[in-house]
Structure 1
Amino acid sequence: MGLTAAGIGSGLDVESMISQMVALQKQPLTQLQTKASSIDTKISTVGTLKSLMSTLKDSAKKLSDSSAWQLTTASSSNTAVAIKVTGAAAPGASEISVQQLARAQSLASANFAVANGATSAVFGAAGNLTITNSSDPSKTTGPIAITANMTLDQVAAAINQKSAASGVTASVLQDANGQRLVMRSKDSGATNAFTVSGDSVITDALGTTGASPSAVLQPAQNAKATVNGIAVESATNEFKKVLPGLSFTASQVTQAGAPAVVSVVSDTEGMKKNLQTFMDAYNALNDKLSELTKYDSESKTAGAMQGDSTIVGLLSGLRGVLSGSLGGINLSDLGIQLAKGGKLQFGTSTSDKAKLESVLQDPAKLAQMFSAEGEAGIPQTQGLAVRMYEFADKMLTFDTGLFDTKTKSLTQLKKDNEKAQDRVNDQAQLFEQRMRAQYAALDKKMGSYSGLSAYMSQQISQWSRG
């Protein structure tokens, strides 16, 4: 607003009068701004609810998979055999004996003397070297060119340049008598064995041929074990598909007649933990919805969404998912109680605890209660977790789900509110312009009256002196 001088001519406090009248024109802004703040709170609240519903959906998805009720733990009586659950393993026991560990082939060349002052022995022969996979002759790497002045380090580097194709790496081993070129297959197992061939001068220098070969060979071999009396082999020390839902790793040979006993039992703690995660996710959403829709009579304050039919309906729908049973089984049969405020919790009574422990020993019953697929659109035929997942998925559907629809509605209300505020400001500005124009005209007229009054007073004064 520019500098004005309204009221100079009239002597009135016009600026104060205009400011007060404009303030009256802007009074609706206070209510609109309060409403805008409420809308922002609701938009943020819907975002929070959406996040909580997404967490519930994830936990329900986990329980809707029947494998969630096939959790098992496995243990071994012997540290020589480490056991791991990899899938749906049936409870029971197995005996595992390890006769042989897997190893990679290693070939150490003849010994090469290192000259005084040198850091690496000189190979001393020139020719070509070829490395071939023993199980698959098509995997042949070579020729690798070797010159007489190359050191063992340089020969190893030449072999390593082609190790990606050959599956063989080379290094130099230092011992009391000099150095050896050591070639080793990257992977263990009989199928990864290799042979070294080439010009005789090269193989003789390596010590793999000649009158008295001096190379040291460690053959490749598979790990061998007996599982419940059946002989099995693996290229590594890990056996992945011998026992359903399990893998085991051998770290040493077991003593004859003393097999490792592998025991598999139902993982009741794991199943209980998954149930608790689901209940926590449900309770977090239920509590938030209850908080948002309640009216506190003591403080006489209403929740941010109190009276909002959409959110009230969401709370009702959420609790309705839990109300059905399947095959005559309901939550109370699992020792789970619906506590005050609609919260889920494990019962603390002796009876409830007994029910829970009993059902945890019957995973098939739990799977039926939570994971039954049933028929789409017919909730009473579906497991609890399946129903909850479908309910949450529907609410979270992009663009057309409850949360996105509600957010769009609130966003539109906010835009309308902003337009209403703009209208009030615009109207107040126009009102101020009119008032200033009117007071300016009044000032001008009052100024002229003041001038005339002064002139008349001057004339009367002169007349009086005459």
Structure 2
Amino acid sequence: MSSIGIDGLVSGLDTTALINNLMQIESAPQTLLKNKSANASILVTALQALNTKVASLATNAAKATKVESWDGHKVASSSTAVTARVSAGATVSTLEFSVDNLAKGQVAMVDLAQAGTPPVLTVVRGGVVKTLEAKGNSAPEMAELINKAAELGISAVAVRVGNAVGGAEPEYRLQLSGVTGEANAFEVYAGMGTAGARLVDSAATTGATKPLVKAADAKITLWPTSGAAIPLTLSSATNTFADVLPGVTVSVAAKTPADAPAVLTVTPDNDSMRKLVSDVVGSVSVVLSEITSRTAATTSTGSDGRSVVSGGLFSGDSAIRFLADSVRSAASMPVSGRSPSEIGIMLDRSGAITFDQAAFDKAMAADPDGTQQMAMAIAQRVADLAKSSSDSIDGTLTLKIKSQEGMVSDLGKQIEEWDRRLAQRREGLQRTYSALEVTLSGLQSQSNWLTSQLAGLPTWNSNK
């Protein structure tokens, strides 16, 4: 419990200022600990930022070491009616074809008046037989029942086909729409099962049961200009043809004339390959720039007017300097006696790593396999180094960060201990000075009493 005193009540001393000045002297060791903790926290933040960049370097470099990453191709179509996309496994190739037909879904109209009261329909599609019985006579009710029958794969909607006459309800028909493909054609029968009247016949070409739109497959003819006696055709239930060429998926949107077919051309995607290398070099540059900026010295003017040179946060840190040298070496050291500069990875006099796109393109054109192998070897060296530095368990940077975090934690505990120690010291000083005031007050009271007693004594005149 702290003592309470009033400054200068008896002594006239400014005891609060006096105690504060004493405490400032007493807390000097804690101030040093706080400064050390703050600097260690700043270093932890800087190391974490560097570790994030090294981890990104590891990711980009690891990607460039994978063979599938270099399996980059692009496809071009000569026709606006045809689009294509490539995936893994694509190879350099060319294909010519005409679009003869687009995939369609069957569309049919049903008159519920032919299905009894209340109407009962049996729908057959792809081996699925579904009987639907409405409680009322409305087409919207039957449409709702069909839409809920997901196994049919048919959507239904009530369409008004006549106007109201003489106050009567307008006439509606039930429009049914199936998914694309000949195999998805459907038939509709009146009543329970397929013994009743056929209201929709998917195979009919004439008559009342003919579909409004027949289900159809998309069809293409390969190399139509070749004049082959037996044309090569492909069909698809949708307007998409998968793996027409290895790793190439084609989508058709319109028919093409037989004498003006679409031509697909699959070529190497040099842009994606170039990006693999440029991403690695870019990440290397980011790591080196981060270290350089944190190491560079700064100059300031001291209180005496002289210049003061201060080292950067990473100055004198041999582990960080070794990391920078290792990254630089991994990216620039020769591979099987060949310099990385041959494929555009350059090391300048300042120690910076840059990427020469023109040199890489030239190397790819002259020796694509050799260039790829060299780039993968360099990426592997960089990936291994970055991984060993940034690994979340035992990476050298990770361990360094944990060590600094431990130091910050220990310093925090010491600072807390000093808080308790200084609080006790302040309380002791307050008690001491409060006791001093009490003692002085007692002495002053005694002095005043003695003075009053002496003043009350009789005065003796020695002359008489």
Secondary structure, in 3 states, of the residue corresponding to 1:262? strand
Check whether the contact 1:130–1:196 (CA below 8 A) recurs between aligned residues.
Answer: yes
**Aligned mates of 2:130, 2:324 — CA distance in 1:** 73
Residue 247 and residue 208 in structure 1: after superposition, are their counterparts in 2 closer, same or farther (change >3 A)? closer
**Aligned mates of 2:296, 2:395 — CA distance in 1:** 24
**Aligned mates of 1:425, 1:465 — CA distance in 2:** 62
Residue 39 of structure 1: aligned partner: 40
Residue 155 of structure 2: aligned partner: 169
- CA displacement at 1:4 relative to structure 2: 1.0
Secondary structure, in 3 states, of the residue corresponding to 1:224? strand
Check whether the contact 1:76–1:261 (CA below 8 A) recurs between aligned residues.
Answer: yes
- CA displacement at 1:196 relative to structure 2: 2.6
Is 1:133 paired with 2:142?
no
Secondary structure, in 3 states, of the residue corresponding to 1:197? strand
Residue 264 of structure 2: aligned partner: 262
**Aligned mates of 2:25, 2:309 — CA distance in 1:** 30
Residue 331 of structure 1: aligned partner: 340
Residue 153 of structure 1: aligned partner: 140
Residue 223 of structure 1: aligned partner: 218
Check whether the contact 1:293–1:311 (CA below 8 A) recurs between aligned residues.
Answer: no
Please give the root-mean-square deviation of Cα atoms over the aligned residues, in Å: 3.2
Structure 2 residue corresponding to 1:195, chosen from 187, 196, 199? 187
Secondary structure, in 3 states, of the residue corresponding to 2:55? helix
- CA displacement at 1:155 relative to structure 2: 2.5
Offset from partner CA, 1:256-280 (integer Å, 9 cap, x none): 2322111222222232233333222
Deviates more, 1:72-81 or 1:385-394: 385-394
Check whether the contact 2:240–2:252 (CA below 8 A) recurs between aligned residues.
Answer: yes
Check whether the contact 1:122–1:151 (CA below 8 A) recurs between aligned residues.
Answer: no
Residue 98 and residue 24 in structure 1: after superposition, are their counterparts in 2 closer, same or farther (change >3 A)? same
Residue 284 of structure 1: aligned partner: 286
Residue 10 and residue 168 in structure 1: after superposition, are their counterparts in 2 closer, same or farther (change >3 A)? closer
Check whether the contact 1:241–1:247 (CA below 8 A) recurs between aligned residues.
Answer: yes
Residue 412 of structure 2: aligned partner: 418
Secondary structure, in 3 states, of the residue corresponding to 2:400? helix
Offset from partner CA, 1:366-409 (integer Å, 9 cap, x none): 331233xxxxxxxxxxx222232232233332233234322321
Residue 366 of structure 1: aligned partner: 371
Write the letter of the residue equivalent to 2:235: E
Residue 302 and residue 122 in structure 1: after superposition, are their counterparts in 2 closer, same or farther (change >3 A)? farther
Offset from partner CA, 1:146-189 (integer Å, 9 cap, x none): 56x51333332222221x1112222234457965433222x211
Offset from partner CA, 1:254-305 (integer Å, 9 cap, x none): 2123221112222222322333332222211211112223334676122222
Offset from partner CA, 1:216-241 (integer Å, 9 cap, x none): 32332221113346422211111111
Residue 376 of structure 1: aligned partner: none
Is 1:393 paired with 2:379?
no
Write the letter of the residue equivalent to 1:290: T
Secondary structure, in 3 states, of the residue corresponding to 2:129? strand
Check whether the contact 1:141–1:165 (CA below 8 A) recurs between aligned residues.
Answer: no
**Aligned mates of 2:162, 2:10 — CA distance in 1:** 116
Q: How many residues matched?
A: 432
Is 1:184 paired with 2:177?
yes
Write the letter of the residue equivalent to 2:313: A
Residue 214 and residue 320 in structure 1: after superposition, are their counterparts in 2 closer, same or farther (change >3 A)? same
Check whether the contact 2:189–2:198 (CA below 8 A) recurs between aligned residues.
Answer: no
**Aligned mates of 1:199, 1:17 — CA distance in 2:** 106
**Aligned mates of 2:191, 2:422 — CA distance in 1:** 102
Check whether the contact 1:129–1:202 (CA below 8 A) recurs between aligned residues.
Answer: no
Structure 1: which 5+ runs fail to align?
Answer: 113-120, 372-382
**Aligned mates of 2:370, 2:451 — CA distance in 1:** 111
**Aligned mates of 1:441, 1:249 — CA distance in 2:** 96
Is 1:409 paired with 2:406?
no
Offset from partner CA, 1:298-317 (integer Å, 9 cap, x none): 76122222222332332233
Check whether the contact 1:88–1:244 (CA below 8 A) recurs between aligned residues.
Answer: yes
**Aligned mates of 1:238, 1:205 — CA distance in 2:** 33
Structure 2: which 5+ runs fail to align?
Answer: 164-170, 224-230, 301-307
Deviates more, 1:94-103 or 1:199-208: 199-208
Is 1:73 paired with 2:78?
no
TM-score between the two structures when normalised by the length of structure 1: 0.81
Deviates more, 1:14-23 or 1:290-299: 290-299
Write the letter of the residue equivalent to 1:141: V
Structure 2 residue corresponding to 1:144, chosen from 132, 150, 175? 132
Check whether the contact 1:123–1:150 (CA below 8 A) recurs between aligned residues.
Answer: no
Check whether the contact 2:220–2:233 (CA below 8 A) recurs between aligned residues.
Answer: yes
Secondary structure, in 3 states, of the residue corresponding to 2:31? helix
Structure 2 residue corresponding to 1:240, chosen from 242, 259, 268? 242
Check whether the contact 1:69–1:366 (CA below 8 A) recurs between aligned residues.
Answer: no
Residue 428 and residue 143 in structure 1: after superposition, are their counterparts in 2 closer, same or farther (change >3 A)? closer
- CA displacement at 1:198 relative to structure 2: 5.0
Secondary structure, in 3 states, of the residue corresponding to 1:273? helix
**Aligned mates of 1:156, 1:11 — CA distance in 2:** 100
Check whether the contact 2:40–2:407 (CA below 8 A) recurs between aligned residues.
Answer: yes
- CA displacement at 1:101 relative to structure 2: 1.6
Offset from partner CA, 1:411-449 (integer Å, 9 cap, x none): 221122223323433333343344445445555555555
Residue 227 and residue 340 in structure 1: after superposition, are their counterparts in 2 closer, same or farther (change >3 A)? farther
**Aligned mates of 2:12, 2:102 — CA distance in 1:** 110
**Aligned mates of 2:265, 2:417 — CA distance in 1:** 77
Equivalence map 1:44-59=2 (5 Å): 44-59=45-60
Residue 85 and residue 461 in structure 1: after superposition, are their counterparts in 2 closer, same or farther (change >3 A)? same
Check whether the contact 1:173–1:182 (CA below 8 A) recurs between aligned residues.
Answer: yes
Is 1:294 paired with 2:291?
no
Aligned-residue sequence identity (percent) comes to 24
Check whether the contact 1:69–1:363 (CA below 8 A) recurs between aligned residues.
Answer: no
Check whether the contact 2:281–2:355 (CA below 8 A) recurs between aligned residues.
Answer: no
Secondary structure, in 3 states, of the residue corresponding to 2:80? coil
**Aligned mates of 2:454, 2:142 — CA distance in 1:** 130
